[in-house]
Structure formats: structure tokens, C-alpha cells
Structure 1
């Protein structure tokens, strides 16, 4: 028990952050939660001592950094854990925070996040498909054998998958990559690191998604080859923080198609041991293999899937009898995202990250 710790967690909008704060509370740790949204799902949890609203990391960066630094000082914070894309801003100004910051340096984060530099820089450490900047791509007659994605994107947004294209259709091809299409089953990997030491890792299949991108149903799977590659990679980088990957399991083995150097939904599957991944040295043995889902979104998007036994038996990632308000109040969080969507005229998924996105050119 390390009750002397005071932890500041950023990214209260993410359901995985709710799992994290609950896990710390069970260990007797004081947690302050912060985000730039007014009504994020984490605001309602009884696992925190305070919710603090922040300026926008993307549009008011200096005020954001100054506010986080003030919170670190005011609450005598020992550990700062960013969970969403605010991690890039925190990493860039890492030396301003007088506590342990659970990120690697901004140069490494940016190389991992940018789909072109990830492929170029790490093709000898991981199995990564042929990836080229779209402005250098020549094989347009066979573009249907490639997947075109923006170099900075998330939730599978703005993708052309297996269709014939012309260079002009991309608008700004220098902002896109062409990646050789790999056929197989897509899985995700979530891991936690401290200075090159692997603390936690889980592989899972996002059986159902919100649109094309974000998973809302998480099925535990085991893949030793993927786990071995991730372990070797994180050690090579001497990585600190949360590190996630999207992987295609093909007939010839796993292919790492992109990297997300931040928290993802795999945290739900590590629920019972999540805090220990940040508190205790060494890799945590995986315990609970029960599938989890975001029940509210599953009911909205896939109501008839509840006839399937696998779905009925899955655990809701949000509701807990000892902390019921996040599940009861999540419609308010959805209402705030809907307001951003309508006001900014953007998609649902883009609205969830609009004020914290990192696209490589932020101040």
C-alpha cells in the first residue's frame, strides 16, 4: 500500500480513465481527475477527491500547462498520468511538472503517433506493412491494394480502404500515407511501461465499434508473438507511459499497422490490477479474462446483438454498484459531445477529441 501518493489523472472523458481512478481508490490512493470538458463521464465518480476543469490543451496550450502545474503544486501531486491525447502537450512541457510524469519525451511520442514516421523509424523493430507518404506514392493503378490514412488521425477517421483512388482525390496527399493492405483479424494491444520495464499488457479484439473506429466491446485474446514483439519494442525505447497498437493477424503472422502512445480501452480488461501496473515493479500476471463492453453504446448501436450469449455475458465497463453515478449520468457527457459536434459541425468521434488533438504542428 502506497497511500502517500497523490495522483493527478488527465482525460476524464475516457471510460478507461474511470477504471483507472477506481483501481487507485481500492489501493487507498488519493486521486484528482481533470479534463477540459464540463461534464466528462469521470466527473461523477466517487473514486476521486476532486474534479478540476482545465483550459483546452489544443487551443489554449500555455494556460492548460500552467493550470496543470498549479494543480500539481496545490495537491502535492506525486504522479501525473495523462490518458488521452493531452499526453503530447504534457510530454512537450514535461520539465514544468514537479512530479513523476507518465509519458516518454515528445519527440518519441510524435514519431509513434505519426503513421509515416512510425513505419519508417521502427520497421526494423516491428513487423510493419509497406508504408509511404501519399505524395510519393506512384502505384495509383493498384491503389485498391492499399489503405490510405491521414498521418495524424484517430478512430479510423478519413480512411480509404481497398478502393481505386487518384492523387487529387486526397486533396493534400502530403498529409496522408498509403499502407499496403493486410488481410486478417484486427486486434489491439494495450501496455503500461516505466523506463523500459513492462508493467502490464493485454491483447484484445474490438468485436463491435462506434462507427468505423473506437471499440465498444472488448474480447480478451492471447497472442504470444505479438506480446513478445511489444515487450522487445518497449524495452528498446526505454518507454514510460501507456502504449497501444493496432495489429492485423495475417496468415504469415502479426503486422503492426499503427501505434497509439496513450491509453486505450484495453485498460478495462486490466481492471483489477490496473493500479498495481503504476505502483509496483514488474509485470502483473493477467487475471480476469471476462469480456467487457460499454453497455450504453452497445444498446444504442447494436441492440439485437444481445441475443448472442457472448454479449449477454460480458461485463459493463461503466456501472459498478459501489459507484453508480457515472453510468447514470453518462447521457450528460454524451449531450456535451453532441453540442460540440453540432456547434463545430464535425463527426461524433472527432468531437470527442476536438480540444485535445495533437496533429504534429501544435505550439
Structure 2
């Protein structure tokens, strides 16, 4: 840390949690440069951002992305680098170059690449959790389609995911709302891109988000999704009491001497056991449930543990409205789920991110062009958020 006021660079400003964190930093008077691969990124237009920049896509143009980030660090005298999504892997791989650009006063608020990779791969993460004594559903690893097919015969009800899949994408199951949406014949696991097949457990999905300094959790939020979009990502978030999620986060953070933001997904069964599902080594929606003061203190002046109390609620209003318009029968349920929730994209005196969330739909066109996805695929609105900032385990140049 430095004695001078931090100057923050927040990358991948499109994400809802990025919008929220940028807004919070602005509320507490921090100087924030917001960066993303397209100019209409909602978080770049928050009042919390002192300025915004467009950078090349880390997934497709890694070297240019790193060079652009280095230039921003130098030009804006950045002292805190705060990644918001999987661009963190590309930044971590080139940590030394970033350090050269920012000097000794640059706080890289994320772990080294090997630590990040250890928890990102779902297969390795599940094995790691078991080594630490943390619960996870029974599982098998498939590196071929035949192995995948055989693994699905191990349990009457099963759920399969790509090791590097994110956002509810790249999943197969024979149970629940996503059953039958995809076929095993459409999937080709490999040794480099394996799939994890697990027994399908009935329970409640929970998530947590933590701010961690050198292995110690200083701010923790656990939440559920009273409402999701297309049975995938949450669009209403409500904080809950969960000592179990805090204990799991503390166990992993201390084991890895984690430094940065750290998030987990859990499946909570009727007996209260929190089964580890996956790790997101960056912020998630749990940050929206912390106050600006809680977040600012956790980053820049931590003094012990703060746990977000149960009952706080946030929502992505546009997504709630979209779901109600697309499925009129959901209206009553949506209103009940959203009751008492304030918006993420439209916070007090900060409404431009909401406008730009609509303008940023042009990013879908770029997504279709690059990947050739059928515009009718159900997961498109989720996938378009990620395509140029994902890391799929491939070597990073």
C-alpha cells in the first residue's frame, strides 16, 4: 500500500459488479480510470469513473492489451490495479511488465498466475477442496466423449460442466431446468479441456464474495439469487447469514495466501452442508451488497473482519423487466423477488450506466461475428458478456 491517495485502474468495466465497485469508489472520492474493450461499457460511464479508456481484447489480442494497460498505468499514474473479470489471468501472466510500468508503488490486487490457475479449473478446484476437507459432490473427470458418456451413467441424476466454463455456459444435465438443453454429442472433452461430471444434488444455490489481504478475509458477503435470468446468472441478489461460506473462504484464502478479491459458488443441501461448486478469482455480485464505506475500508485500510448482514438486496432492473416481458407469467414472481431491492446500474445520482447497458447491446453483434453463434441460442445474453475477456486454460503468450 502507499501513503498517497490511491489512483485506481478498474478493468472490464462492463460487468454489473464492476459498475457497482466503480460507483462505490467514486462515492468515497477515489480517482478511478475505467477500462474495457468497447466504449459503451456501462461501468465506464459511471459517475464513479474519473475517466475511461478502450483497450484491446485480452483474449484475442493479449500483447496489445498488456501494452495498453501499461500505457494507462504510466499516463494516469495508477497505484491500484483492480481486475473485474478473467482478464486477471492475462494481467497476472505479465505481472512483471506491469510492475515495471508502475514501479514499487503499484498495488497489483490479485494473486500470481499459478495461484489463480489452481482454483479456476473446476476439476483441479474440486480436488483441492477435498484435500482441504471441504465438501464437494461426488465427481468424475472426462477427457473424451466416451468417458463423458460413461460418467453420466454413474448416478441417476447428474450435472456436467466444462472445466473452464463460466456464467452457466457449457453445461449438461439430465435434471432440473437446464435438462436436455444440450447433448453429449455436441461436446468433445479433451485432456486440455476436460469436463467434470458430478452427482446432481438438490439444494439452494449460494455464492460468496470476499476482499482478502495476504490470506486474511477482511470483508465477506454471502448471497442467494431470488431471481435468475434463463436459469443461469442471478439478477436479484439478497445477502444471507452463512458462517459456513465464511469458513470455506477463510480456509482457502489462508492456504493460498490469497491477495485480491475471491468468490465461490456453493450448493447448500437440506442438512446445511455447503458443497463447493466453483471458484471465481475476482469480484461477483456479492460486492453490490456491501456499502461504499465497507468496500473502501476493506481495500485501503482494513482493520479486522466485516461480514455483510443478511437482508440487503440488489437487482439488475433491466434484466428483471426483460424477464417479465419475455415471460408475462413470471410478473408476480418477479415483483415478489425484486421487492425491496435497489438497482445496480441505476444508483443515486448515477444513471448513465443504465443507459449504456442498453447501448452496449451492440457488443452482441461483435460476439456473433467473432464466434458465429446462432442468435436464438438461449445463453447468448450471458455469453456475450464474456467472449473477449475469458481464459479457457490455453497458454497465454
How far residue 140 of structure 1 moved from its aligned partner, in angstroms, is 4.3
The corresponding residue for 1:106 is 113
Instruction: Determine the C-alpha separation between the residues in 1 that align with 2:190 and 2:70.
Output: 38
The alignment partner of 2:202 has SS state of coil
The total of aligned residue pairs comes to 363
Aligned residues of 2:210 and 2:218 also touching (Cα < 8 A): yes
Indicate yes or no: 2:35 matched with 1:14. Answer: no
The corresponding residue for 2:393 is 360
Indicate yes or no: 2:209 matched with 1:187. Answer: no
Seen in structure 2, the aligned counterparts of structure 1 residues 184 and 287 have a Cα distance that, compared at 3 Å, is: closer
Provide, for residues 41-82 of structure 1, a one-character-per-residue CA deviation record: whole Å limited to 9, x for no partner: 112212222101000101110111111111111111111000
How far residue 108 of structure 1 moved from its aligned partner, in angstroms, is 1.6
Provide, for residues 71-100 of structure 1, a one-character-per-residue CA deviation record: whole Å limited to 9, x for no partner: 111111111000111011111111222311
How far residue 16 of structure 1 moved from its aligned partner, in angstroms, is 1.0
Q: TM-score, with normalisation over the residues of structure 2?
A: 0.85
5 Å-filtered alignment, 1:336-351, equals 336-341=363-368, 344-346=371-373, 347-351=380-384
Q: Which runs of 5+ in 1 are unaligned?
A: none
The corresponding residue for 1:197 is 216
After the TM superposition, which of the residue ranges 294-303 and 121-130 deviates more from structure 2? 121-130
The corresponding residue for 1:149 is 161
The alignment partner of 1:259 has SS state of strand
The alignment partner of 2:391 has SS state of coil
How far residue 360 of structure 1 moved from its aligned partner, in angstroms, is 0.5
The corresponding residue for 2:344 is 317
Q: TM-score, with normalisation over the residues of structure 1?
A: 0.92
Provide, for residues 3-39 of structure 1, a one-character-per-residue CA deviation record: whole Å limited to 9, x for no partner: 6211111111111112111211222211111011221
Instruction: Determine the C-alpha separation between the residues in 1 that align with 2:236 and 2:342.
Output: 10
The alignment partner of 2:306 has SS state of coil
How far residue 166 of structure 1 moved from its aligned partner, in angstroms, is 9.4
5 Å-filtered alignment, 1:168-247, equals 170-172=187-189, 174=191, 175-247=194-266
Instruction: Determine the C-alpha separation between the residues in 2 that align with 1:31 and 1:227.
Output: 29
Provide, for residues 251-293 of structure 1, a one-character-per-residue CA deviation record: whole Å limited to 9, x for no partner: 3411011111111111111133222221122323436842110
Aligned residues of 1:134 and 1:167 also touching (Cα < 8 A): no
The alignment partner of 1:353 has SS state of coil
The alignment partner of 1:70 has SS state of helix
Q: Which runs of 5+ in 2 are unaligned?
A: 326-330, 374-379
The corresponding residue for 1:127 is 135
Indicate yes or no: 2:294 matched with 1:277. Answer: no
Provide, for residues 118-152 of structure 1, a one-character-per-residue CA deviation record: whole Å limited to 9, x for no partner: 11223122212223211356454345432111111
Instruction: Determine the C-alpha separation between the residues in 2 that align with 1:70 and 1:139.
Output: 48
Instruction: Determine the C-alpha separation between the residues in 1 that align with 2:364 and 2:183.
Output: 34
5 Å-filtered alignment, 1:288-327, equals 289-302=311-324, 304-305=331-332, 308-327=335-354
What is the RMSD computed on CA atoms of the aligned residues?
Answer: 2.4
Aligned residues of 1:11 and 1:34 also touching (Cα < 8 A): yes
Aligned residues of 1:2 and 1:279 also touching (Cα < 8 A): no
Match of 2:288 among 249, 264, 268: 268
Instruction: Determine the C-alpha separation between the residues in 2 that align with 1:322 and 1:80.
Output: 26
Provide, for residues 223-268 of structure 1, a one-character-per-residue CA deviation record: whole Å limited to 9, x for no partner: 1122112112211211011111110111341101111111111111
After the TM superposition, which of the residue ranges 73-82 and 336-345 deviates more from structure 2? 336-345
Indicate yes or no: 2:260 matched with 1:248. Answer: no
How far residue 181 of structure 1 moved from its aligned partner, in angstroms, is 1.9
Instruction: Determine the C-alpha separation between the residues in 1 that align with 2:241 and 2:367.
Output: 38
After the TM superposition, which of the residue ranges 53-62 and 177-186 deviates more from structure 2? 177-186
Instruction: Determine the C-alpha separation between the residues in 2 that align with 1:30 and 1:288.
Output: 31
Indicate yes or no: 2:161 matched with 1:161. Answer: no
Aligned residues of 2:155 and 2:199 also touching (Cα < 8 A): no
The corresponding residue for 2:278 is 258
Indicate yes or no: 2:50 matched with 1:49. Answer: yes
How far residue 332 of structure 1 moved from its aligned partner, in angstroms, is 0.1
How far residue 306 of structure 1 moved from its aligned partner, in angstroms, is 6.5
